């Protein structure tokens, strides 16, 4: 306590209380009311909105996903229903008379109405044409996209869960566990994933489940690496140290301190793994070891189209176009997300 | 020097371990495969089956076969192909190595050169039309699977325009053009993207400013000063590039009927040719492991800033 001298006390008591005025801040000086803090999602959306390509592709992806998942309602035919007399009909759009979309084929230099030749009733149109068994390609494309997307989404989800779990455990435990787990990763990453996937597919019964499993086996590794690297970084942060000092368990630290802080990077990674999964599915089905016929997936459609593409190029072009649009959209959207969540991350 | 030998020794040990694990895994996986390699099994009598099994060594216990298999691999003997007229797998594959290697090298060379060029152009015109164009090209190249590119090229240049052979491997260099183009798409996209990022960083550094102040032309600055430093990290892309080339070769070689390893692998998969599948698996893995190893070593030699990990 400071001891004031008698003189100061006397001087102070000489000033009357009324001399003191309550401080009234003026309009300008008043502290501006802080804007409401943005939540994680709001903030990300605000940044993402600035990237036009990302927004456009996001809308495109939403439309494609909706169309694909509404396939049972939207498709005009059963995707496996065969009309043998209506096979290999070119696309026909009602009211459109452009060559290629009006149901005519070039035959010996002049256009022939294939629909009339095949005795298709008036008014019956196949927007994407039919394939070699007379199956409606529009329905097959819808169902095929649906299956390819389902495979990609589930595979990405599995990658994500395994990768996160592995990376978190390896990063948090550290020491010996980390070394062993990293050695395992190093060995696994020396196996070309394609070869692994093909081997797996030879062993499992072909089908959706086995494709998903085969892809997951090889593709969780990069995710695990990223998660571990980030975990090691965040583990050094003071708030994690504090939580540890207060006796928080490893599980608690992982779930409530580390996971929320790496979610951005994880989301970006997951977005990039969806197109990879779609690519693998089409690739395998194209080779003939993926989805089994007659089931439609983008890969089997491409495979079927490739067999006849010299005669009926539309059977290959339509699925190829759908595939390219989906792949491009996912990649552009993921690029946009990366700029939002992780601007410092190097490409690749 | 000592820490290098220690580091390399450690890496070689892990490479060997990786290959051993892959060889063992493939062996045991192949043995649980459904189906048999004999495609006319129904017509074979029990005695014939027994003879065939004996001939190919399928009558021995699993473990004995495993040991034999590993021993033979070390001698470069990958067994006898079950489908292709009883040829030794090693001979079969070595005949097919040539076209695959040629295609791979041509694709990497062409793809990287074009990709690097595009990447530099993009970085020089950052956020302008050319940059957007190059970036769009790169992302398209990454998104469109190379078998789609291959089919489109075939349709355009071989069927419609009739400029180049549609496939096969019998017209010398002319027949390599289309498959090379199809395969080079992914190295091109990859290196374009990579170089652009690196160049943007390099072009804003002090020594480039100095060169600019001296009045050098932008093109000279970019290509003779900037590119030199931006090229070094490109080595790290070699690993992923190899993987995508191997993947690509499977379909591209099929589409253009190139007698290479990829085409052989696809044929073997579809006909349950165990020994060939195993051999190609090991071959591909060995190639990948070797490329990763070389990349790491090269990178450390070229860029002294990167330290040998774990050894001080």
Along the 312 residues of chain B, how does pLDDT read in single tens digits? 677 788 888 888 888 888 888 888 888 877 776 656 665 666 677 777 777 777 766 677 778 888 888 888 887 777 777 666 667 777 777 788 888 888 888 888 898 899 888 888 888 887 788 888 888 888 888 888 888 888 888 888 777 777 777 777 777 777 788 888 888 888 888 888 888 888 888 888 888 888 888 888 888 888 888 887 788 778 877 777 877 787 778 888 888 888 888 888 888 877 777 778 888 888 888 888 888 888 888 877 776 665 554 433
Of A190, A193, A323, nearest to B292 by CB-CB distance is A190
Please answer yes or no on whether A202 and B269 come within 8 Å at the CB atom: yes
**Does A31 score more than 70 pLDDT?**
no
Provide, as residue numbers in chain A, all residues whose Cβ is less than 8 Å from the Cβ of B309. Answer: none
Q: pLDDT confidence of A346, banded at 50, 70, 90?
A: very low
A 296-325 residues inside an 8 A Cβ radius of B? 302, 306, 309-310, 313, 316, 320, 323-324
Q: Which of A195, A320, A330 sits opposite B148 (nearest CB)?
A: A320
Can you tell me the ipTM of this complex?
A: 0.78
Are B148 and A302 a contacting pair at CB < 8 A? yes
Interface contact A191-B288, CB threshold 8 A:
yes
pLDDT tens for A322-344 read 898 999 899 888 888 888 877 66
Delimit the domains of chain B by residue range: 92-271
> Cα torsion for A136, A137, A140, A146, to the nearest 10°?
-140
pLDDT of residue B21: 84
Say whether pLDDT at A101 is over 50.
Answer: yes
Asked whether residue A14 carries a pLDDT value surpassing 80, the answer given is no
Which site among A52, A60, A199 would you substitute to test the B interface, given the most B Cβ atoms closer than 10 Å to its Cβ? A199
Express each pLDDT in A244-265 by its tens digit.
888 888 888 888 888 888 888 8
A203 vs B17, B29, B193: nearest CB: B29
The per-residue pLDDT for B310 is 42
Pairwise pLDDT comparison (A228 vs A107), residue with the higher score:
A228
Q: B143 and A328: CB-CB below 8 Å?
A: yes
State whether B143 and A348 contact (CB < 8 Å). Answer: no
Listed by number, the residues of chain B in 221-240 with a beta carbon closer than 8 Å to a beta carbon of chain A are: 237, 240
Distance from CA of A75 to the nearest CA of B (A): 26
- Can you give the pTM of this predicted structure? 0.80
CATH number (1.10.150.130, 1.20.120.1200, 3.40.50.2300, 1.10.3720.10) of B92-271 reads 1.10.3720.10
């Amino acid at each position: 306590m400071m001891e004031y001298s008698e003189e100061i006390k006397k001087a102070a008591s000489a000033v009357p209380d009324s001399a003191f005025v309550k401080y009234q801040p003026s309009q300008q000086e008043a502290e501006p009311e802080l804007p409401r803090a943005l939540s994680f999602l709001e903030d990300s959306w605000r940044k993402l909105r600035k990237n036009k390509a990302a927004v456009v592709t996001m809308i495109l992806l939403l439309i494609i996903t909706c169309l694909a998942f509404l396939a049972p309602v939207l498709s005009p035919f059963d995707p496996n229903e065969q009309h043998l007399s209506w096979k290999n009909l070119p696309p026909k759009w009602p009211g459109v008379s452009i060559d290629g979309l009006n149901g005519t084929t070039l035959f010996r230099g002049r256009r022939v109405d294939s629909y009339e030749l095949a005795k298709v009733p008036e008014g019956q149109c196949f927007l994407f044409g039919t394939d070699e068994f007379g199956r409606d390609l529009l329905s097959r494309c819808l169902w095929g996209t649906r299956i390819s997307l389902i495979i990609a989404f589930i595979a990405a989800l599995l990658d994500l869960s395994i990768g996160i779990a592995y990376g978190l455990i390896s990063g948090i435990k550290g020491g010996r566990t980390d070394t062993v787990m990293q050695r395992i990763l190093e060995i696994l990453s020396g196996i070309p994933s394609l070869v692994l996937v093909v081997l797996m597919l030879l062993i499992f019964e072909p089908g959706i489940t086995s494709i998903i499993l085969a892809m997951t086996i090889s593709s969780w590794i990069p995710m695990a690496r990223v998660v571990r690297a980030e975990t090691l970084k965040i583990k050094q942060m003071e708030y994690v140290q504090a939580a540890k000092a207060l006796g928080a368990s490893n599980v608690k630290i992982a779930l409530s301190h580390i996971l929320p802080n790496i979610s951005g990077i994880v989301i970006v990674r997951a977005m990039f793994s969806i197109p990879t999964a779609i690519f693998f599915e089409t690739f395998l089905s194209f080779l003939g070891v993926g989805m089994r016929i007659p089931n439609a997936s983008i890969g089997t459609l491409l495979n079927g189209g490739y067999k006849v593409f010299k005669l009926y190029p539309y059977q290959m072009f339509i699925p190829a176009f759908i595939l390219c649009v989906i792949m491009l959209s996912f990649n552009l959207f993921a690029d946009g997300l990366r700029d939002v969540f992780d601007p410092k991350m190097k490409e690749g | 020097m000592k820490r290098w030998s220690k580091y390399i020794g450690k890496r070689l040990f892990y490479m060997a371990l990786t290959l051993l694990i892959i060889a063992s895994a493939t062996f045991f996986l192949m043995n649980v495969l459904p189906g048999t390699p004999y495609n006319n099994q129904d017509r074979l009598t029990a005695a014939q089956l027994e003879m065939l099994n004996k001939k190919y060594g399928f009558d021995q216990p699993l473990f004995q076969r495993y040991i034999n298999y590993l021993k033979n691999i070390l001698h470069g003997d990958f067994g006898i192909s079950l489908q292709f007229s009883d040829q030794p797998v090693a001979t079969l594959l070595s005949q097919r190595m040539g076209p695959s290697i040629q295609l791979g090298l041509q694709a990497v060379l062409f793809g990287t050169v074009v990709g690097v060029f595009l990447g530099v152009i993009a970085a020089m015109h950052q956020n302008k039309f050319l940059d957007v164009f190059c970036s769009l090209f790169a992302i398209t190249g990454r998104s469109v699977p190379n078998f789609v590119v291959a089919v489109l090229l075939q349709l355009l240049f071989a069927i419609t325009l009739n400029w180049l052979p549609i496939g096969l491997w019998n017209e010398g260099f002319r027949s390599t053009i289309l498959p090379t183009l199809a395969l080079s798409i992914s190295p091109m996209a990859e290196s374009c993207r990579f170089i652009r990022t690196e160049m943007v960083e390099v072009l804003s550094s002090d020594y480039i400013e100095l060169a600019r102040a001296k009045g050098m032309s932008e093109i000279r600055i970019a290509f003779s000063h900037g590119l030199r430093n931006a090229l070094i990290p490109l080595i790290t892309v070699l690993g992923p590039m190899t993987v995508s080339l191997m993947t690509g070769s499977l379909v591209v070689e099929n589409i253009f009927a190139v007698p290479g390893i990829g085409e052989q692998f696809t044929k073997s998969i579809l006909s349950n040719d165990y020994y060939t599948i195993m051999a190609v698996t090991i071959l591909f893995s060995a190639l990948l492991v070797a490329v990763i190893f070389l990349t790491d070593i090269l990178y450390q030699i070229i860029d002294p800033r990167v330290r040998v990990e774990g050894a001080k």
